[in-house]
Structure 1
């Protein structure tokens, strides 16, 4: 379907490449997360059956983690500018109680992402970096031989903590996406209604409207009399 559909009713929030990038990261997150939990504690070792058993889980987990980081970098490159904080964000956070009850009174307009989404974005980036670096330290097949046991133990601790924060953050992300009606649909189909954009991301909506320019007026058709 064309990405210029119904320009008067909808706005393109995510193009096909951005949506594909997002869902690749999501799939790899669940795969890396489940395999990581399987290796984290014996009580969750049964999850290794999803990946062909314990040895295969240990082999695949770091590769899935690296792939997740690489694809997440694609999202960072695309969206980091939109996740920079602006003055309105501080006031928005002070009035988060009104946002939670869906009250718009006194809540300042925001850009493409609200401050909560921006905090999540930078938290995910920090967690991904911590997981990558600590994961390389404890990756026995290739890198752990270059580090002492103290560094490896510290790397394992950092890896576990970063994994916990990442999983918790993603749970919050999923909940918020479901709670704000239209968010999940935007990442599935790419489009949001103009009413949704104006309500939840007024500054972004104004920017889109300004870029579109004034609506083109239909010219009256002149017919010649023969």
Structure 2
């Protein structure tokens, strides 16, 4: 290790370990596949997106199984991070100061821990949507479970599945935009580390906890 590498390592704080990053990317990849194949099944005008899974028949077969993989991996992720996403008083104050957030006036914001109020809301919204997708997906999973339920339950499940999918897609788009907007964030899920300057600026309470400063 040369001096430059030592300086970089010294200036870094670990945010995610290798297992957490691998799990995150499995969830991300399966989400993209499910979003595209789900849109193909949702409306005939978007059926061409079924090419992602090799056409219509394979899309209908594989979509629910991939959905189970995403749910299980997300469940592992949620179990590991739920304590860090409990809503606290500072998070409510952060959310009330959303204009300062949008305008990058971070000096006006309360100290942020490992995650800010927006990230925490997204986390709990994703949990609700994932549970909704799993339950509704089981109800409409033809030839396995749909024959068990009356038609009105299946119709309600289809609506719930579409609603949860829409909310999840919007939430993930916001998540990606925020990661690109705040320079240095992507590195947390590629290298697993962030710079001390990044942590001090965007998550000062977490920075103090990690460094003891």
2:171 to 157, 160, 169: 169
Q: Distance in 2 between matches of 1:21 and 1:66?
A: 14
Q: TM-score, normalised by structure 2?
A: 0.94
Say whether residues 1:178 and 2:180 are aligned partners: yes
3-state DSSP class of the match of 1:192?
A: strand
| Structure 1 residue 8 displacement after superposition | 3.0
What are the residue-to-residue correspondences of 1:89-104 with 2, within 5 Å? 89-104=91-106
Query: Which residue of the partner structure matches residue 70 of structure 1?
Result: 72
Q: Distance in 2 between matches of 1:36 and 1:101?
A: 36
Residues 33, 52 of structure 2: 8 Å contact kept: no
Q: TM-score, normalised by structure 1?
A: 0.89
Query: Which residue of the partner structure matches residue 86 of structure 1?
Result: 88
**Residue deviations 1:119-149, cap 9 Å, x none?**
0000111000000000000001211111000
Query: Which residue of the partner structure matches residue 217 of structure 1?
Result: none
Higher relative helix content: 2
Residues 184, 198 of structure 2: 8 Å contact kept: yes
Query: Which residue of the partner structure matches residue 133 of structure 2?
Result: 131
What residue ranges of structure 2 are gaps of 5+ in the alignment?
A: none
Say whether residues 1:25 and 2:36 are aligned partners: no
3-state DSSP class of the match of 2:161?
A: helix
2:121 to 92, 98, 119: 119
Larger Rg, first or second structure (1 or 2): 1
Query: Which residue of the partner structure matches residue 156 of structure 2?
Result: 154
What residue ranges of structure 1 are gaps of 5+ in the alignment?
A: 215-226
3-state DSSP class of the match of 1:105?
A: helix
Q: Distance in 1 between matches of 2:128 and 2:106?
A: 31
CA RMSD for the aligned pairs?
1.4
**Residue deviations 1:190-225, cap 9 Å, x none?**
111111101100111111013xxx8xxxxxxxxxxx
1:145 to 144, 147, 150: 147
